[in-house]
Amino acid sequence: MKKEFGFLFWLHVYFIILYFSFPFWLDWRIILAIALLLELQYLFIRDCILSRFELGKGGAFWHHYLLKIFPSLHRGRTIFFTTYILPLLIAAIAFVLQKVFGLQPIL
């Protein structure tokens, strides 16, 4: 039996935290490019590569673990938000922080 919070879980958490920190140190154009690469991954593979290794084909990291806290969480809405809205929202936040508020990214 696989460990519930094994290496792939923690790798996923690391990448998520790193992604949420992008607006503070990475140029918004690079973040937008990464968001578009994520969208291409979903378009061609129809899955997150890391989620596929961790949870199997069709597994959704966010939904899988949030379901433990919120048992009635809607799978389709969660996947839609984390796949399409969240990456663009992070890029938009970076744009506002950097262009409107003058935050200077490191990279």
pLDDT digits (tens, 9 = 90+) for 17-54: 999 999 999 999 999 999 999 999 989 988 889 998 88
Total number of domains in the chain: 1
For tokens 């994520």, the residue is 38
Q: Answer yes or no: is 88 within a domain.
A: yes
Instruction: Indicate whether 1 pLDDT > 60.
Output: no
Any residues with CB less than 8 A from the CB of 42 and at least 6 apart, and which?
48, 83
Q: Answer yes or no: is 95 within a domain.
A: yes
Q: Answer yes or no: is 17 within a domain.
A: no
Task: Identify whether the C-beta of residue 63 lies closer than 8 Å to the C-beta of residue 83.
Answer: no
Q: Answer yes or no: is 13 within a domain.
A: no
Which residues constitute the domain of residue 62?
A: 25-100
Q: Answer yes or no: is 11 within a domain.
A: no
Q: What is the pLDDT of residue 100?
A: 97
What's the pTM?
A: 0.86
DSSP codes, 50-64: HHHHHH-TT--HHHH
DSSP codes, 25-50: HS-HHHHHHHHHHHHHHHHHHSS-HH
